[in-house]
């Protein structure tokens, strides 16, 4: 029953996010992409640069991005996207925090991932304001 509710929520989020957008706007937007959009309609974003917010969690040397902290802690893999970057490359302040990830989204054999990571920034909240602190930046580009 919980899985059905999650899928219905994902589908509703996606439908509401694309209503009124043309196909080209959905596929080529440089704006933030919802993690739910990547999960529900991965073919729309395949092999494209995305900018997405999520909760970065590490388990068994695998980095994953989840929509919420609770999804990460419960191991709700259905709502996650793998981050293809060795954990040793990251500043530890990124882990177990909400972050902004910029990279290339891939969808192959039902496995969703973001690779060719350009940057990861942790979102910090201080007294009602938000700021970003870079914890990974690709310097060879």
Q: How far apart are CA 99 and CA 56, in angstroms?
A: 6
Number of Cβ within a 10 Å radius of residue 45: 23
Question: Comparing 1 with 127, which gets the higher pLDDT?
Answer: 127
pLDDT value at residue 23: 37
pTM of the shown model? 0.74
Q: How far apart are CA 100 and CA 133, in angstroms?
A: 10
Residue 17 pLDDT exceeds 90? no
What are the structural domains, with CATH classification, of the chain? 2-137 (2.40.50.200)
Share of the chain above pLDDT 90, in %: 50
Take residue 117 and report the two structure tokens written for it: 């990571």
Take residue 139 and report the two structure tokens written for it: 């310097």
Q: What is the pLDDT of residues 30-72, one digit of tens each?
A: 579 999 999 999 999 999 999 999 999 998 888 999 999 999 9
**First CA to last CA distance, the chain:** 46
Q: What is the pLDDT of residues 81-120, one digit of tens each?
A: 999 988 888 888 889 999 999 999 999 877 899 999 999 9
């Amino acid at each position: 029953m919980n899985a059905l509710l999650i899928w219905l929520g994902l589908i509703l989020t996606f439908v509401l996010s694309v209503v009124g957008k043309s196909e080209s706007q959905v596929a080529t937007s440089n704006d933030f992409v919802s993690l739910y959009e990547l999960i529900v309609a991965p073919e729309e974003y395949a092999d494209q640069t995305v900018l997405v917010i999520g909760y970065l969690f590490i388990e068994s040397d695998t980095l994953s991005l989840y929509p919420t902290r609770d999804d990460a802690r419960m191991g709700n893999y259905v709502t996650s996207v793998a981050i293809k970057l060795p954990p040793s490359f990251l500043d530890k302040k990124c882990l177990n925090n909400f972050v902004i990830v910029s990279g290339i989204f891939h969808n192959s054999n039902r496995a969703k991932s973001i690779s060719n990571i350009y940057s990861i920034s942790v979102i910090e909240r201080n007294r009602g304001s938000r700021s970003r602190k870079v914890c990974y930046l690709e310097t060879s580009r």
